Amino acid sequence: MIFNNSFFYPFIVIASFISSTANGNSYWYQYGESPVLMEYSNNGATQTLNFLYYKKGMLVAEIDGGFGEVSMPVGVQMARQLKVNIPGIAKARSLVNQGNQVGALKILRKSVYPLIKFSRLPEEFTQLHSANILLLESLIQAEKLAEAKYLLAKIPLESTSLQYSEKAIELLNKYTLIRDWDSVIEMTRSIPHKDDYAVNIKVIMNSADNLRSAGKFNAVIPIYQSIQEDIDPSLQKNLQIWLAYSLVLADRQKEATSLIDSIEKPNIEDKIFSLYQLLIGARAHRDKDYSKALDLLTRGFVRAQTSYSWVPEKLFLIGDCYLQIGDSIAAKNVWKELTILYPNSPWVDQVPTTNI
- List residues bridging with 59 in a β-sheet: 54, 72
> How confident is the model over 239-263, as pLDDT tens digits?
999 999 999 999 999 999 999 999 9
> How confident is the model over 165-190, as pLDDT tens digits?
999 999 999 999 999 999 999 999 99
pLDDT at 222: 96
Residue 356 binned pLDDT confidence (cut-offs 50, 70, 90): low
Which helix (H) or strand (E) is 185 found in, with range? helix 181-190
Q: For the ranges 59-68, 139-148, 187-196, 277-286, which has the lowest average pLDDT?
A: 59-68
Mean pLDDT over the full length of the chain: 89
CB 38 within 8 Å of CB 85? yes
Residue 9 binned pLDDT confidence (cut-offs 50, 70, 90): very low
3-state secondary structure of 70: strand
- In angstroms, the CA 128 to CA 120 distance is 11
Amino acid at 6: S
Provide the CB-side half-sphere exposure for 322 (13 A, CA).
Answer: 18
Amino acid at 339: T
Q: Does residue 140 carry a pLDDT above 70?
A: yes
Q: How would you class 9 by CB atoms within 10 Å of its CB: exposed for 0-12, middle for 13-18, buried for 19 or more?
A: exposed
- In angstroms, the CA 76 to CA 85 distance is 19
Residue 198 binned pLDDT confidence (cut-offs 50, 70, 90): very high
Residue 234 binned pLDDT confidence (cut-offs 50, 70, 90): confident
Please give the average per-residue pLDDT across 193-212, as a whole number: 92
Residues in the chain: 356
CB 238 within 8 Å of CB 224? no
- In angstroms, the CA 100 to CA 88 distance is 15
